[in-house]
Amino acid sequence: EPEVTQTPSHQVTQMGQEVILRCVPISNHLYFYWYRQILGQKVEFLVSFYNNEISEKSEIFDDQFSVERPDGSNFTLKIRSTKLEDSAMYFCASEDGVKDTQYFGPGTRLTVL
Amino acid sequence: RKEVEQDPGPFNVPEGATVAFNCTYSNSASQSFFWYRQDCRKEPKLLMSVYSSGNEDGRFTAQLNRASQYISLLIRDSKLSDSATYLCAVIPGGGADGLTFGKGTHLIIQP
């Protein structure tokens, strides 16, 4: 069964550094998403991406964040200057545009020191 | 983004019992509704979509009540492997496509 993959599984960085989280969505899917989950809290929507542009973003997704689909398979989330409060699990999800159903990757645990 | 509310639990239920959770949503324009399951420190996994007429998948039954703005999940003949956190998720509609999640209901099935 096709699945969303994410790398790395765990990223440790120093405050102020840039990080790039990578995702490979399911191959025939058209919509891509990033979510985050701070430990003990709910899953929060960050951004959605369709047809090579952002279609929706939340108030969390400020100027420090950016997304890109650099080729036909990868979907990346960049955090320009990480803060302590960016420590969280970051989940990528994709959807085929037909069933309105999003499938999640295993996540990247980001730890900012 | 408007809210999705769930009773956090934990619900402690003996194996074989039936358990039900509710979830309320505040945006009456919400269009799509889902139940996800999340195991500790893992990703949300889709359990089932929730349709207006209600739907069943094996031991799981989901219902939608648009008038009262809640969705429910019923688990029959619960198994030890059903122990997890159950997340309610809603797509708000109005052009928005990201999921709004509740905080989840923690279920513990006891032998």
B7 touches chain A (CB under 8 A): no
Kindly state the average pLDDT of the residues B47-68. 93
B17 touches chain A (CB under 8 A): no
Kindly state the average pLDDT of the residues B10-37. 94
Out of A23-37, A66-80, B24-38, B92-106, pick the least confident: B92-106
Say if the Cβ atoms of B46 and A42 lie within 8 Å. no
Say if the Cβ atoms of B44 and A42 lie within 8 Å. no
Alpha-carbon distance values, B49 to A76, B14, B107 (Å): 27, 26, 19
Cβ contact A44:A29 at 8 Å: no
- How many contacts (CB atoms, under 8 Å) link A and B? 57
Chain B residue numbers touching A87 (CB-CB < 8 A): none
Q: Which residues contact B105 (CB under 8 A, 6 or more apart)?
A: B6, B7, B8, B9, B11, B21, B23, B85, B86
Q: To the nearest whole angstrom, how far is the Cα of A55 from the nearest Cα of chain B?
A: 8
Report pLDDT for B1.
57
A45 touches chain B (CB under 8 A): yes
Nearest to A45 among B32, B45, B98 (CB): B98
Say if the Cβ atoms of A100 and B91 lie within 8 Å. yes
CA distance B53 to B55: 7
Quote the mean pLDDT of chain A.
94
The two three-digit tokens of residue B42, written as one number: 């893992």
pLDDT more than 70, % of chain A: 100
The burial class, CB within 10 Å (0-12 / 13-18 / 19+), for B52 is: exposed
Report pLDDT for A77.
98
Give residue A97's pLDDT band: very low, low, confident or very high (50, 70, 90): confident
Report pLDDT for A72.
78
Say if the Cβ atoms of B97 and A103 lie within 8 Å. no
Say if the Cβ atoms of B43 and A58 lie within 8 Å. no
Report pLDDT for A70.
86
Distance of CA A24 to the CA centre of its chain: 10
B92 touches chain A (CB under 8 A): no
Kindly state the average pLDDT of the residues A14-28. 96
B61-95 pLDDT, tens digit per residue, is: 999 999 999 999 999 999 999 999 999 999 987 66
A30 touches chain B (CB under 8 A): no
A51 touches chain B (CB under 8 A): no
Residue A5 clears pLDDT 60, i.e. is over it = yes
pLDDT more than 90, % of chain A: 85
